[in-house]
Chains A and B, each alone.
Chain A
Amino acid sequence: MEAVLEAFLSHYNYGMAIILMMIGLYALIAKQNLVKKLIGLNIFQTAIFLFYISFADVEGGIAPIYLPEGMEAIYVNPLPHVLILTAIVVGVSVTAVGLSLIVRIYEEYGVIDEAGLLKMVKRR
């Protein structure tokens, strides 16, 4: 029991991240509404970010902020943080492009769900 709890405790946030990813992926693929798809995309991306932050975290570590001379501490790994900063910017750009496309599609076809769109595209 102890061992199981141990294993669970050391890995549960990975599991959670994966659940979140799956939720996002499901929305991306299965949802008909285009805005819902993008919400799914956001969840999917943040879940990946969560995964990065999780593995960067070190037991008993502290935030990688410069400490005065003489103080020793275990920093958490700062590199994934930097990576994720970049990835967040990329993610918001993708969302912005996607949303502007949805607005355009709505202006052209008057619908924002996939089934309706398919009908409209075929009709033209």
Chain B
Amino acid sequence: MIWDLDFALLLFMIICAIAAITVRDLLHAAVILAAYSLIMTVLWSEMNAVDVAFTEAVVGAGVTTVLFIAAIARTERSSSD
């Protein structure tokens, strides 16, 4: 475990999380959430949880993002907050 790498990744994740819930464009928010999940994947594989990391890459960054984008496509993109 390389603590400074971990630390940087975590920090970056927090930034992503805040960004995901603050941007007004929901499509952007969904993409940022995907990025968040990908960083999580990296973090987990670095923490020796390779199996979970793979799953998260597929399900968290993949399926979830697709679901979000599909839902946003059928509703509206802009958000008031």
A interface residue numbers (CB < 8 A to B): 9, 12-13, 16, 19-20, 23-24, 26-27, 31-33, 35-36, 38-40, 42-43, 46, 49-50, 53-54, 56-57, 59, 61-65, 76, 81, 84-85, 88-89, 92, 95-96, 99-100, 102-103, 106, 112-113
Contact = CB atoms under 8 A, between A and B. Distances in A.
Interface residues of B, number: 44
Contacts of A20: 13-14, 17
Contact of A92 (B14, B21, B36, B59): B59
A113 B24 CA distance: 13
B64 A49 contact: no
A61 B10 CA distance: 20
B79 A35 contact: yes
